[in-house]
Amino acid sequence: MNLDIRKYIHKNFENTNKEEIKESINSSIAEKEEVTLPGLGVFFENIWKNADEELQNKIIDILENSLKS
């Protein structure tokens, strides 16, 4: 079976609002289940692709600081 996780995630969330997306992200993080990581990765990929250089640098700073904790 050939599953395109990106297309699946996009299709699953194409008609959701901001609050539903936020709730999904928060519950995925709270559950600490490995199975949710690919979906969060797709979300991150979308953020990264649509971020300008300034926002990308801010994201990198946040990640760097969180990895030091």
Considering the entire predicted model, what is its pTM? 0.85
Residue 2 has pLDDT above 80, yes or no: no
Residue 19 has pLDDT above 70, yes or no: yes
- Average pLDDT value for residue range 11-38: 95
Contact by Cβ (8 Å): 25, 43: yes
Collect all residues with Cβ–Cβ distance below 8 Å to 24 and sequence separation of at least 6: 13, 16
- Average pLDDT value for residue range 11-19: 96
Instruction: Specify the pLDDT at position 20.
Output: 97
Residue 44 has pLDDT above 90, yes or no: yes
Number of domains forming the structure of the chain:
1
- Average pLDDT value for residue range 38-57: 97
